[in-house]
A and B are shown apart, each in its own frame.
Chain A
């Protein structure tokens, strides 16, 4: 089954404790992206990757890091989480045919930073 898999689904952590949210897709998609979803703000893009070893900042990259060493994986790293990073996070992927091709989303990771 074609899917984007994120782990964990729920995560509670404390300020300053480094964490990684994993994302993996099995559709051989070139493009992958991370979004955060906050009430009243919709989805905002954190980082995206056009292909292996190619990453770039989205609209809200501060406090986050990503890497794209393999085509299928695109982990999101929070080196020193803070309470304002409490949010619902989504990983998404699509083909390289441009943003008019549909994005495939994971089921989300709800992060709480205390």
Chain B
């Protein structure tokens, strides 16, 4: 079945550091890919998405590119802030199963001032 694998955390960074969170997927066909973010004490919210190969999703300084050849959707941000401290989830929905979103395990990111 469809699945997502994220790099394990926790990740601790200093402000203005570069952030990368790796995400790879297994799916039949061409899934749509997402990053959701969960701030402390809140539910998840959509950060960005990409629906076809080579698409780049971007939002709030974060970017991720849908790489079909490596089945990856790594999240990056060039200069993190303390307010980026959160749990980040990679997720996908398969073309054959459009109603279900499959999530990775989540990566906890802490940014120190």
Query: Measuring CB to CB, which residues of chain A are less than 8 angstroms from any residue of chain B?
Result: 4, 31, 35, 37, 40-45, 48, 50, 58, 90, 92, 98-100, 102-108
The answer to whether A105 touches B89, judged by C-beta atoms less than 8 angstroms apart, is: no
What does DSSP make chain B's interface, helix, strand, loop or mixed?
strand
What does DSSP make chain A's interface, helix, strand, loop or mixed?
strand
Which listed residue (B32, B42, B101, B104) contacts A103, Cβ 8 A? B101
A58 to B103, CA, bound (A): 13
The answer to whether B100 touches A45, judged by C-beta atoms less than 8 angstroms apart, is: yes
| B21, chain A: closest CB distance, angstroms | 13
Can you offer 8 A-B residue contacts whose CB atoms are under 8 A?
A37-B106, A44-B103, A45-B101, A58-B100, A90-B43, A90-B44, A99-B99, A100-B49
| Interface size, B (range) | 20 to 34
The answer to whether A107 touches B105, judged by C-beta atoms less than 8 angstroms apart, is: no
The answer to whether B41 touches A107, judged by C-beta atoms less than 8 angstroms apart, is: yes
A86 to B99, CA, bound (A): 27
A43 to B45, CA, bound (A): 13
The answer to whether B51 touches A106, judged by C-beta atoms less than 8 angstroms apart, is: no
| A101, chain B: closest CB distance, angstroms | 9
Contacts of B46 in A (CB 8 A): 102-103
